[in-house]
Structure 1
């Protein structure tokens, strides 16, 4: 690993150099262990601590299959799916690995007593398997997290509809929170040259997810002039939705939970911000009963900000806690587009406000390769910026995941893997200098 790191740090990107490097038999990786699946039994979700279940292990390097690439990972990031993996909710990810392992001879590699986690990376291609022609060793890359087989006809219009579609590092093994990672070649995309390794690693999952959910015709299909209510607008997902709304000529209505988060939204350029804690919204009277008066109060606040208009689009991801309110406040004929459900999967809403007002609920999950590529292009062109707030080392991944679990973070949280320190990897310093203020908006907040 030292020789690989030294080659990367030298700036040499020739294919010959990297093809000539010896590949180690093992590498360091962040894992969860199959024999620890039950360690949190009896605890509430909020009390489950990723620091107890995430381990830094030395693991064996598997052989590359056709169509795959081995990447030296310089940096990765924490997503909520790593939190779910670490607390074994809603189910253990080892079930995913077992089912995947039964699909083919090469997939058997994934069914192990440990799971290497992580669904983002920035790094350098080291090796490619048979059938890979576009990506050469020495290429600087990031990876999106859609792993797809593409043998089934259903995947060839939209790869997210492939029956064998999985999220890499969550539903597959050999993820990005490691010194090395294995991805399919059609997960690779060019790294943004004006960003550091940790900055470039941070947008992948959330930026692509926000792009499909908000911009793509597979999601809400946002257009110029739309009013978009964005829950968690300063968070890992919402911060990209906020930027996209602003860049696309829409008006974001940002819902946050503190004055500090409200200020971040204003720094991004948003003018309409609701601090839900300051307003004291309580959408549930108790665990079983929602309070429609609170939905109406939120709707009134939104109309005060928008001069009497309801949102054309509601960008939903909290789930159970907010979904009833989201359906209510959306304009007649508008769209509620939903992914994830960080506050609970069993959504409840009053269907009268949906059917009688001709509203639509659209489910959205990650992004296909084209959507991920377009989202990454926005990053590379400096139209959308990373929202990295803090960077941890691999030894600190448990704490990083705990911060995300407890919502004690802003934007995205990065993790250095092979990179010896933060701030490395920039090859277009002039472009970076022009965008430095936007890149640093979330830093150390």
Structure 2
């Protein structure tokens, strides 16, 4: 066992014990290699296997600079940006690293012949750089994935508008799918004490994304009573959007693709569910021709569930495959808020239904620090729960990424980094006992795909 894991994994090490631990010269990490970035260029996207691009290898340990923190990572998780990184789609992430390095100074370190990927972590602060006052060795933390420079006035109202805003572990190096990770101090948040390492690592990116997209004034500003159409409602972003809608007094209409995923939505408390595969929805006649007839059929289905009401808000992330339907079914004056395009980036919709019915499309990308903090606070208070379905050891991270790429998962897929096994790191057993069923909801064997 790694000496760090032996001391840190049960969560009982004191600050003094952690501060006394030697920092290893190298550590294991999931990486992409720069000299392999063109390996899929001749292949259609559907035939690319991300597992072939992801390698677990030893890398040198970086020294935390001013405002930075070195974290011992007990667990991480897989997000769609991990898949995009491995597939070099839509672009190679090494282009991001080269661009970041051109800022000079500490950023220059990020342009390496390898990219340590991953945009989630739960772990223990190991060392802090100069000027870090809010965190110290031994703190149990999770990290959100927004990396900002804040040297421009543009980012000081909403840090997501910083011209140098980047997603850590995707557009920067030293990501979370590793035994150690380098983050900025303003990425850190307290780890929810009632969760294990792998549970705490799973909500960060997707929960914060869903919070900004749905709840924040920067997104759809959901209110009580809103009908909220949620695509992929048992997936990463969708499972948190469903919980946030329910917790906020809204009425989620959950779109899923299997009876098992429908059961998960019912277990979360949702009443209105559409199994798009069972209903045979196909929103394109062929690769180039949308099918408005299917949009209309879909809209009727929603109104049958809601008592004749259209969605006030549509939570969009599939993109090309569903965007035309989303614009069509939103109510007059409604909002389509989009945070991704997992089925393709070139959207097509009928603009008449947007402009003549005064609908709005809002772009929403991750979350600022305050939004991420509020989303994490809901987790810590047991109001929103992790949707972890399974975990893999770091040595099998390629398999985990391929699982997400193929859509053969629900909720989130975790990765154990320093943690030798699942179930470690819980400090608040009383709160955990009150929410045990909800915490384990996505692990029910009956929901396996």
TM range (shorter): over 0.9
Deviation at 1:44, TM superposition (A): 1.6
Distance in 2, matches of 1:386 and 1:79, equals 14
1:299 paired with 2:299, answer yes
Determine the C-alpha separation between the residues in 1 that align with 2:33 and 2:69.
Answer: 25
**TM value normalised by structure 1:** 0.99
Deviations 1:3-58 (A, max 9, x none): 32222146444322222211111100000001111111222212111111000010
**What is residue 152 of structure 2 aligned with on the other side?**
152
Task: State the match for 1:77 in structure 2.
Answer: 77
Which residue matches 2:35? 35
| Alignment partner, residue 227 of structure 1 | 227
Superposed CA RMSD in Å reads 0.9
1:311-350 Cα deviation digits (max 9, x unpaired)? 0000000000000000000000000000110000111110
SS in 1 for 2:141: strand
How many Å separate the matches in 2 of 1:11 and 1:333? 49
- The aligned counterpart of 1:332 is 332
CA separation in 1, counterparts of 2:185 and 2:257?
39
Q: Within 2, Cα distance between the matches of 1:34 and 1:8?
A: 33
Matches within 5 A, 1:405-420: 405-420=405-420
Map of 1:276 onto structure 2: 276
Is residue 398 of structure 2 the alignment partner of residue 398 of structure 1?
yes
Structure 1 Cα separation of the partners of residues 282 and 24 of structure 2? 54
Contact 1:46–1:406 (CA under 8 A) maintained in structure 2: no
Secondary structure of 1:277 counterpart:
helix
Provide the residue aligned with 2:189 in structure 1. 189
Residue in 1 that maps onto 2:267? 267
Q: Could you say which residue in structure 1 is the equivalent of 2:24?
A: 24
More deviation in 8-17 or 134-143? Answer: 8-17
How far apart in 2 are the matches of 1:81 and 1:352?
A: 33
Match of 1:178 in 2: 178
SS in structure 1 of the partner of residue 127 of structure 2: strand
Distance between the aligned counterparts of 2:294 and 2:12, measured in 1?
59
The 5 Å alignment of 1:36-435 reads 36-435=36-435
- Name the SS of the counterpart of 1:237 in structure 2: helix
**Unpaired segments of 5 or more residues in structure 2?**
none
Q: Which residue is 1:437 aligned to? A: 437
| Contact 1:13 1:139 (C-alpha < 8 Å) held by counterparts | no
Q: Is the 8 A contact 2:208 2:366 kept in 1?
A: yes
- In the TM superposition, residue 64 of structure 1 has moved relative to its aligned partner by 1.2
Query: Within 1, Cα distance between the matches of 2:44 and 2:257?
Result: 22
Aligned equivalents of 1:70 and 1:438: distance in 2?
32
- Provide the rounded CA distance (Å) in 2 between the counterparts of 1:163 and 1:258: 40
Measured in 2, the distance between the counterparts of 1:218 and 1:49 equals 36
Any idea what the Cα deviations from partners look like across 1:194-251, whole Å, max 9, x if unmatched?
1000000000000000000000000000000000000000001100000000000000
Distance 1:4 1:397 in 2: 20
